Amino acid sequence: MYLIKIPKIIKIFKKDLIWDMPGEEKNIYLTFDDGPEKDVTPQILDILDCYEAKATFFCTGSKADKHPEIIDKIKKNGHSIGNHSYSHLKGTKTSTLLYLADIAECAEILKTNLLRPPYGKITRQQKNSIKKQYKIIMWSVLPGDFDRRVPKEMILYRASKYTKRGTIIVFHDNIQAKEKVIYTLPRYIEHFGNLGYKFAPITEELFG
């Protein structure tokens, strides 16, 4: 089970994590987890380029190791990179020592202080250690493109229904989500673009 829209109470209770990016401008923050994937990420980059939209890619170190050319293209196209651990470990199922080592291994490759915990799962001890060095970026909308039970049309509906100014939305650039994200992304961008929204990357500079 997963929450499509993060309730306000969770954002208040876990206010040391970043759930959205409030501000005066009509910005939406596209994020992509689990890549880079050679059969998915380049197609997403092409869609983003077509609409002049920027995004943030939370990449696993193991895949970044295999596809440095895609990492280079992400950066060259003006998008941001975030740490999504090296091995995509679930923090609540992993010792703190191993978890931190896995994050550090990814950091050696990606060199960013933006981090998203895989599955959004992280213990308090892990969080307290990591937040000294990283901005922990969560999300406000999770439409579920990874969920095989949900049709692509519903992914678009969920994404559109819950998005507002400052939303951080999660899609996935992996094989499992490919059909749904490739269907949803251009329609989602076009819809909100027509409403005057811009798609901005999450950058380290935004946090001072």
Mean pLDDT (whole number) for 93-109: 97
Domain ranges of the chain: 8-207
Predicted structure pTM score: 0.97
Range 8-207 has CATH code 3.20.20.370: yes
Is the pLDDT confidence value at 1 over 90? no
* pLDDT tens profile 134-154: 999 999 999 999 999 999 999
Long-range contacts of 47-53 (CB under 8 A, 24+ apart): 47/182, 47/185, 47/186, 47/189, 48/77, 48/79, 48/185, 48/189, 48/199, 49/77, 50/186, 51/186, 51/189, 51/190, 51/193, 51/199, 53/189, 53/193, 53/198, 53/199
Which of helix, strand or coil describes residue 168?
strand
Give the residue, 24 or 76, on which the prediction is more confident: 76
Mean pLDDT (whole number) for 154-174: 98
108: Cα separation from own chain's centroid = 19
Is the pLDDT confidence value at 174 over 90? yes
Is the pLDDT confidence value at 208 over 80? no
For the record, the structure tokens of 13 come out as 């209770």
Mean pLDDT (whole number) for 8-35: 95
* pLDDT tens profile 48-64: 999 999 999 999 999 99
Alpha helices (H) along 51-177 = 61-66, 68-76, 96-110, 124-130, 152-162
Is the pLDDT confidence value at 207 over 90? no
Residue positions annotated with a catalytic role: 33, 172
- pLDDT value of residue 23: 86
pLDDT band of 47, cuts 50, 70, 90: very high
